[in-house]
Amino acid sequence: MRNERTRLLMGDGFAKLQNAKIILLGVGGVGSYCLDCLYRSGVRDITIVDFDCYDETNQNRQMWSEHHLGESKVASLLTHYPEITGIDKKIDPSWVESFDFEPYDLVLDAIDDTQAKLALAQKCHKKLISATGSAKRIDPTKIEVSTIWKTHGDRFASKIRYELKKRRFSKKYPVIFSSEQPRVKEKGSFMAVTAAFGLTMCSVAVQKILQ
């Protein structure tokens, strides 16, 4: 059976995975691996949201990108994960404000738009799991999970924290981040880190579902 070994590990909790309803925002270097991990773990009610198309620069880190150059990420991923739902939309603050997150058990944030991340935190922090900066790093062992208020070594997370304070937001939500200092100024990326971010996000999500 496809999920036999997951069932052996999760026991009675496997049914919770099958019944979970998750929305994943962004299916790039982080999100595509999170999606694959969730799907292989038995989660089927997954909605993905992205607006981008695959190009050559994605091939060093994004799942399936080499097979779908120039094609929509959402449409392409639906061919590999036929049971999921796809929304081909740009995730910005106005979309966050208008979208109904109520039906979902978890909201997974794998985007890199600062304003959209802030809007997500303010609207659905109780369901939110967020990833910060995975680019410019090469050591996946430096990845950590904490609240947004306890991240360190990540300037992107620091910016999010600063902006949340300006908005007088003080709630906690889990964040996946790396304490490794960036190695370059340019937005170089390494699959060992970006994929590990996505797999960590999947693990945090699965643990929350099983609780």
d(CA 20, CA 44): 8
Query: Is residue 51 packed enough to be buried (19+ CB in 10 Å), middle (13-18) or exposed (0-12)?
Result: middle
The answer to whether 201 and 30 are in contact (CB under 8 A) is yes
d(CA 11, CA 105): 20
The answer to whether 170 and 127 are in contact (CB under 8 A) is no
Query: What is the CATH classification number for the domain harbouring 32?
Result: 3.40.50.720
Rg of the chain in Å (alpha carbons): 16
Supply the range of the domain harboring residue 74.
Answer: 4-210
pLDDT given for residue 1 in this prediction: 79
Determine the average pLDDT of the residues in 152-162.
95
pLDDT given for residue 115 in this prediction: 97
Determine the average pLDDT of the residues in 4-26.
95
Q: Token pair for residue 12?
A: 């009675």
| pLDDT tens sequence across 59-107 | 999 999 999 999 999 999 999 999 999 999 999 999 999 999 999 999 9
Q: Token pair for residue 53?
A: 């198309």
Count of structural domains, the chain: 1
The answer to whether 178 and 143 are in contact (CB under 8 A) is yes
| pLDDT tens sequence across 166-189 | 999 999 999 999 999 999 988 899
